[in-house]
Structure 1
Amino acid sequence: MSKFHEQLMTEWPRAESFYYYSQIAPTSYSITVKLNVTKLKDCVQQRGLKFFPAYLYAVSRVVSQIKELKMAVRDGTLGYWDYLNPVYPQFHPEDQTVSLLWTEYSSNLSEFYQRYLSDTEEFGHDRGILTKKGVPPENAYVISCIPWFSFDSFSLQHHQLKDYYLPSFEAGKFIEQNGELYMPLSINAHHAATDGYQLKVFLKELQTLMDGANSWME
């Protein structure tokens, strides 16, 4: 189970930035990049696995390594979680609606993958904004996709959300360029918790993890 750790402002170099961007000038922002998913796609195909849960695992693993991407307020206290659980969409082609489902993260790919398969099999056909699995836990972040088209930019607007500092992710349709496969990824972040530097670290680590998929899919 993910534990919540209090962030002491006196011990946090970003304390003034957090106060400014959360209380004086509340600011969120989004960036869109293209990830090279060639090696990750090849690995899952060779093993007969599904791409989406492998992608969920990769993002969740890297997010859980960066404190600023796990910041939250719990019972009025600012802190961060050990790890975050992904909340992802279940599309229903029969009526073109979407329901949200979540899966408990595990640092072990096989364990997480089986949890994903179990959750989607049991709850994937439920209708409503949430499946019958229920409300996601506090340490959950949204990671979605638009598989029908690609994009160069995407911005998700969170209206009137107070004390919400977790990032959200939106992926798009694959693009093939010069024999390589790319996927657009938009990240929406709250400036109080996350600067551009943290996203740079996240993107570098995520690309490295995807490129080395053979080593963690063994």
Structure 2
Amino acid sequence: MQPTTIPVDLNSWSRRDYFYYFTKMMPTGFNVNVDVDITATYDAVRAADYHFFPAYLYLVTKVIQGQPEFMMVMQDGRLAQFTELTPSYSLFHDDDHSISGMWTDYNSDFQVFYQNYLDDVTAYQHQQGAVGKPNQPENAYMINMMPWLHFNSYTPLVFNGLPNFLPTVEAGKYEIKNGRRIMPVSFTIHHAVADGYHVSRFFDRLQTAFDHPQKWLNLPVCR
């Protein structure tokens, strides 16, 4: 299905001047790394016999989609806003420690999304190579996790110079601090579409979502 977009009228858009400045005069992006308390959600999904990783994919995507500044794209030289995003992530192969690119259709119903994820992993878990699941849609944004490393900073570097206005999200290995599970989360965004305030708001909303899994996690489920 072709992703749908809403045209952005640059003449009336409140970020018009900032968009020009940070794309033409001083092309800039920025990265923020924040420790997030995942205790409530981690305990809830594990008690229900879910995997945490797809819950993380779902929750971050759900929160991002509440902020239109993180859903911008250039189409035929015009700025537009996606109505929905698709998480694009890496599938790790235990046999040779390689990764393959994957994506899973988002659904606002967690159980539907979770089953979509399980179906994709089952279908492509033995597909080695850089691309696991083909035909990644245009509205896919990068989100991953390094469960082996608790980092203080993670900054993805793009070398082709092409503008990308969708965020890049990376989580690291959680650590136990004062009985809480603390996971580092890195968020990278183009300055043309968002400022520090918008990213701060994202992390506030993400922490609230992790703190209250009962608001989005429908239990029980039979797998």
Matched, 1:136 2:136: yes
Contact 1:40/1:211, CA 8 A, preserved across alignment: yes
Alignment size in residue pairs: 217
Q: What CA distance in whole angstroms lies between the structure 2 residues aligned with 1:174 and 1:199? A: 21
Contact 1:172/1:183, CA 8 A, preserved across alignment: yes
SS at match of 2:11: helix
Q: What CA distance in whole angstroms lies between the structure 2 residues aligned with 1:146 and 1:191? A: 25
Matched with 2:70 is: 69
Deviation of 1:199 after TM superposition, in Å, equals: 0.6
SS at match of 2:100: strand
Q: What CA distance in whole angstroms lies between the structure 2 residues aligned with 1:50 and 1:95? A: 22
Deviation of 1:25 after TM superposition, in Å, equals: 0.8
Deviation of 1:93 after TM superposition, in Å, equals: 2.0
Matched with 2:206 is: 206
Q: Following superposition of structure 1 onto structure 2, how do residues 29-108 of structure 1 map, counting pairs within 5 Å?
A: 29-108=30-109
Structure 1 runs of 4+ with >6 Å offset: none
Q: What CA distance in whole angstroms lies between the structure 2 residues aligned with 1:216 and 1:101? A: 24
SS at match of 1:142: strand
Q: CA offsets per residue over residues 153-193 of structure 1, 9 Å max, x none? A: 11111112323111101110011100000100111111111
Q: TM-score normalized by structure 2? A: 0.94
In structure 2, give the amino acid aligned to 1:212: H
Matched, 1:177 2:206: no
Q: CA offsets per residue over residues 137-156 of structure 1, 9 Å max, x none? A: 00000001111110111111
Q: What CA distance in whole angstroms lies between the structure 1 residues aligned with 2:94 and 2:117? A: 20
Q: TM-score normalized by structure 1? A: 0.96
SS at match of 1:100: strand
SS at match of 1:10: coil
RMSD: 1.1
In structure 2, give the amino acid aligned to 1:124: Q
Gaps of at least 5 residues in structure 1 are: none
Q: CA offsets per residue over residues 101-140 of structure 1, 9 Å max, x none? A: 0001111111111100000110122111111x30310000
Deviation of 1:74 after TM superposition, in Å, equals: 1.2
Q: What CA distance in whole angstroms lies between the structure 1 residues aligned with 2:214 and 2:44? A: 6
Matched, 1:191 2:191: yes
Q: Percent identity between the aligned chains?
A: 36
